[in-house]
A and B are shown apart, each in its own frame.
Chain A
Amino acid sequence: MEGHAAPRSMAAHRTASVVAALLGSLFLLFLVAPIGRLVVGGGKSGVGELFTDTELRSSLWLTAVTATFAAAVGALGGTPLAYVLARRPFRGKAVAAAILDLPLLIPHPVAGIALLLILGRESVVGRTLLQAGIRVAGSPIGIVCAMVFVSAPLYISAAREAFARVDPRYESVARTLGDPAWRAFRRVTLPLSARGLIAAAVVMWARAVSEFGAIVILTYNPKVVSVLSYDRFTGFGLTEALPVAAVLSILALIPLVALRALRPDRGAGTDV
């Protein structure tokens, strides 16, 4: 009996590998094929339009700048939150974490209306800002606000995981060696989690680039690429929308690849 067991489990192992490879390939195809179709269908004319279509160029530029701002704001505000959620036990933590996930499940036009109620010209905040000459709705600031709102939860939960993977004992050691809490964080925890934090920021950035529903309520003009591609699609149909979408896919690859290739904590990461 034992003599049979080994080849049988080998066979089972092989079958499992084949099934896994098949499933994996199918899934990869599912994810890549639509984008491949976009690039094949509109890539050439899209790249051509980069030189002739000033609206497309300024819209890509606006998207890059606002999404980068949004990711920076998310990293600045989200990192301390993520750290507290990863490290400090407190009452109601599960509730706090769940509330931070809420912006992900609110339909985006609703998120846009909610932001408008808080930041619009009739709100206390919006009125005060307007008096200071800062307009949220109808300006790039509105775009950044919408992007931060819908994408920051992704940063926070990924950053929290990155912190959780760093052994708290390293911090304790640094602190017993005399580092104050902030310096222990900066010298130990931050470098060890840097790669995870960058990955979190990349995901947030990418999500911000794709946002449409909340942005179009707050700031339709000037148009980010998602709004422009919607406009081109509803106004002129597929032939005009494809190049915009293709160019976005091609250009977005550059920062994504560059940032993913960064490995500041080579050897220390658990997520190699």
Chain B
Amino acid sequence: MVYTAASVAIPIRAALDTFAAREHVTVQQENGGSLDIARKLTELHQIPDVVVLADYDVFPKLLMPNQTTWYAEFARNRMVLAFTDKSKFASEVDSANWPKILQRPGVALGRANPDLDPNGYRTLLTLQLAEEYYEQPGLYDKLMKLSPAKNVRPKEADLVGVLQAGEFDYIWSYESLAQATKLRYITLPAAIDLGTPADTATYAKASVKVAGKTPKDTLTIKGQPIVYALSIPKAAPHPGMAEKFVAFLLSPEGRSLLHATKLDALDTPVIIGSGAPAAVQAAVSAQ
């Protein structure tokens, strides 16, 4: 049994299928939001063999040390600006001129709710970083004015259909989602796309306030790279098979399977924490 963050469900499925055929085992996969998955373990005590989350930070915040003592960062994603052929100025927009194109009259820009969806607050972080990066004071406010409350939807996946229906010209999205839904997109400079672990220090300069534990609380979120991580819970029902699968996923073969299904697997996975099984450590140090 594998619990997978919905945004990496398809790549992990592909790897699981190959693994299951080779080992002659049956696998089950349940997909959900990273926080939902963590709550399943901590509150409902449903323990899978492997947990794959879209936000590595959930491990130290919610699952360590009770559920597990380590996690492995193995893939990344990044913020992009997605659009369709029908979008206004679709033929002109590129990675350098996008702030200007978005500010042209009549352009509708969609974003996700920062209180509900990491993509929503990551959009705000990217815009903050953009103001700094392009040295244009006031850029954040200008771009936020372009996507007022009526252009917000609950989650980044909800934006895609609305974009395709023509209601938005551009949406803030993840590269993986834009690829999976066959949208056109432009990549952003590494210093602002939250996709480069090497730029962690730069990202940390940006921070936003979002709703905390109740609608009245606020929580400050600092910029961090978008890194996917996985772990094997201490109480996994089939630890041996889980170790085998994780070692497979982190191997060159596993990584190329992930790349083929549009997940940007890290060339060198990183283990955080201690107590990772020997098979997993061997797979990482073999890179």
Contacts and interface: CB of A to CB of B under 8 A. Distances in A.
Q: Which of B39, B86, B211, B215 has the most CB of A within 10 A?
A: B215
21 contacts: A55-B215, A113-B161, A113-B162, A116-B165, A117-B165, A121-B108, A121-B166, A122-B165, A138-B149, A139-B150, A216-B158, A217-B153, A220-B113, A220-B153, A222-B149, A231-B113, A234-B33, A235-B115, A235-B116, A235-B211, A240-B214
Interface string B137-166: 000000000000111111000100110011
B213 interface: yes
Interface of A: 53, 55, 109, 113, 116-117, 120-123, 135, 137-139, 216-217, 219-222, 230-232, 234-237, 239-240
B42 to A, nearest CB: 12
Which of under 10, 10 to 19, 20 to 34, or 35 or more describes the interface residues of B?
20 to 34
B181 to A, nearest CB: 14
B29 to A, nearest CB: 21
A122 B152 contact: no
A230 B211 CA distance: 15
Contacts of B94: none
The 5 closest A-B pairs by CB, nearest first: A138-B150, A122-B166, A221-B149, A116-B165, A120-B167
Contacts of B33: 234
Nearest to A239: B214
A120 B116 contact: no
Interface of B: 33, 39, 86, 108, 113, 115-116, 149-154, 158, 161-162, 165-167, 211, 213-215
B257 to A, nearest CB: 31
Contacts of B150: 135, 137-139, 219-221
A231 B161 contact: no
Given A117-B166, A138-B151, 11 more contacts: A109-B161, A116-B161, A122-B86, A137-B162, A137-B167, A220-B150, A221-B152, A231-B115, A235-B211, A236-B214, A240-B214
Contacts of B158: 216-217, 220
A222 B149 CA distance: 8
Contact of B213 (A53, A120, A135, A236): A236
B108 A231 contact: no
B167 A116 contact: yes
Contact of A232 (B161, B165, B166, B215): B215
A112 to B, nearest CB: 8
Contacts of A137: 150, 162, 167
A231 B116 contact: yes
A119 to B, nearest CB: 10
A139 B108 CA distance: 15
Given A120-B167, A234-B116, A217 B162 contact: yes
A35 to B, nearest CB: 24
Nearest to A122: B166
Contacts of A230: 154
A182 to B, nearest CB: 41
Contacts of A237: 39
B161 A236 contact: no
Contact of A234 (B108, B154, B162): B154
Contacts of A240: 214-215
Nearest to B217: A236
B154 A121 contact: no
A53 B196 CA distance: 41
A235 B39 CA distance: 13
B214 A116 contact: no
Contacts of A120: 165-167
Contacts of B113: 220, 231
Contacts of A222: 149
A34 B20 CA distance: 41
Contacts of B166: 117, 120-123
B34 to A, nearest CB: 12
A234 B112 CA distance: 14
A120 to B, nearest CB: 5
Contacts of A231: 113, 115-116, 154
A139 B148 CA distance: 12
A237 B153 CA distance: 19
A53 B162 CA distance: 30
A116 B164 CA distance: 10
A64 B116 CA distance: 25
Nearest to A233: B116
Contacts of B153: 216-217, 220
Contact of B161 (A53, A122, A217): A217
A222 B116 CA distance: 16
Contacts of A122: 86, 165-167
A238 to B, nearest CB: 10
Contacts of A138: 149-151
